[in-house]
Amino acid sequence: MGKARKRLLIAIVLVLVSLLLLTYQHGRSGSGSRSILTLPFDALNALLAQTGRTMQEWRTALEENRKLKSDVVRLLIEQQVHQEVLNENRRLRELLSLKQSTRDRLLFVNVIGRGYDRMVTSIVIDKGERDGVEKDMALVTPRGLVGKVTAVRGSFSDVLLLRDPSFSAAVRLQQSRQEGIISGAGGRLLTLKYIAPEEPVPVGEAVVTSGLDGIFPEGIPVGTIATVSRGGGGFFQAIEVLPFQDDAKVEEAALMSRR
């Protein structure tokens, strides 16, 4: 038999075997022999399908995880924004309560920057001459005194802060009613001057403005006594005062002028 005939024979046998098998199955459903034959393959098939499903679930879980992470970041940012709004709301409510508690004229301002002059410690506020701001008006928050207006421009003003060495105000101790002058010392603490050595000054006592300087209204909280030193043989005690209001945290405040 020639090669071509052998090939043809193989091809015919191949096709015939396949067609016979197909014809045998045609019209029958789920014969017993086939079920037994396919049992291990069905098991393998189930295993592969399960593997596929598991991989699909992993992919879905990974995608969900990625999405949830981005959601968490977004929500954290939103939460921070909301917290900021809440804080602003609280500060504004405090300012409003200040207006209700004082007889003096109040002008609400926002702090818009630090002072440009490096020789003095000052801040810039968003109200100026056009808004009725005048030199020497006191800048206060519900916590206490912040500083005083030193320069007024059209729509903004400079405020000299408490802790600047060139700042001074007439004050008194809230309980003992001792009077003195408070000045900035360049640092965080203020200096209370002109308190005689024999006067008792308890640490922690509150200091308020006395109004005797003709600039600041009476009774504005300034700070508390932090340290007292009677040594050194001087004429007065060396007293340091911790201000109630940290000027680094002032965002909204009110200008107060004597009526």
Partner 1 sequence: MNPLFWAMLTGLAFVVQAVASTVLIPLNLTVVLVVLFGRASAHHHTEQRGFSGVRAEFTAAGFGLSVGLFEDLISGALVGSGMLSKGLTGFLSAMIFSDVLFRWTPVFGAAAMIAFTGLDWLCLLGVRAFFATSPLLPGAMIQAVVLQAVLNAMIGMALRPGRLRIA
62 lines the binding site for partner 1 (CB under 8 A)? no
**Spatial distance between the Cα atoms of 256 and 194, rounded to a whole number of angstroms:** 26
Q: Least separation, in Å, of the C-beta of 83 and partner 1?
A: 43
87 lines the binding site for partner 1 (CB under 8 A)? no
- In terms of C-beta density within 10 A (0-12 exposed, 13-18 middle, 19 or more buried), how is residue 199 classed? middle
- The region of 32-40, 70-78, 147-155, 200-208 touching partner 1 under the rule CB under 8 A is 32-40
**Spatial distance between the Cα atoms of 139 and 145, rounded to a whole number of angstroms:** 6
12 lines the binding site for partner 1 (CB under 8 A)? no
- Residue 243, both tokens: 């201000």
The only residue of 36, 48, 170, 210 in contact with partner 1, by rule CB under 8 A: 48
3 lines the binding site for partner 1 (CB under 8 A)? yes
Q: Which of 213, 197, 228 is nearest to 145 (CA)?
A: 213
55 lines the binding site for partner 1 (CB under 8 A)? yes
Count of residues in contact with partner 1, rule CB under 8 A: 31
Q: Least separation, in Å, of the C-beta of 64 and partner 1?
A: 16
In angstroms, how far is CA 220 from the centroid of its own chain?
28
Q: Least separation, in Å, of the C-beta of 22 and partner 1?
A: 4
Nearer to partner 1, 22 or 119 (CB): 22
75 lines the binding site for partner 1 (CB under 8 A)? no
The only residue of 29, 32, 36, 41 in contact with partner 1, by rule CB under 8 A: 41
**Spatial distance between the Cα atoms of 13 and 133, rounded to a whole number of angstroms:** 108
49 lines the binding site for partner 1 (CB under 8 A)? yes
Alpha-carbon torsion (219, 222, 225, 228), positive or negative: negative
Q: Least separation, in Å, of the C-beta of 70 and partner 1?
A: 24
51 lines the binding site for partner 1 (CB under 8 A)? yes
Q: Helix %, strand %, coil % for the chain, to 5? A: 40, 25, 35
**Spatial distance between the Cα atoms of 191 and 210, rounded to a whole number of angstroms:** 16
Q: Least separation, in Å, of the C-beta of 66 and partner 1?
A: 18
- Residue 22, both tokens: 């197909």
**Spatial distance between the Cα atoms of 172 and 7, rounded to a whole number of angstroms:** 120
42 lines the binding site for partner 1 (CB under 8 A)? yes
Q: Interface with partner 1 by CB under 8 A: which residues?
A: 3, 6-7, 10-11, 14-15, 17-23, 25-26, 34, 37-38, 41-42, 44-45, 48-49, 51-53, 55-56, 59
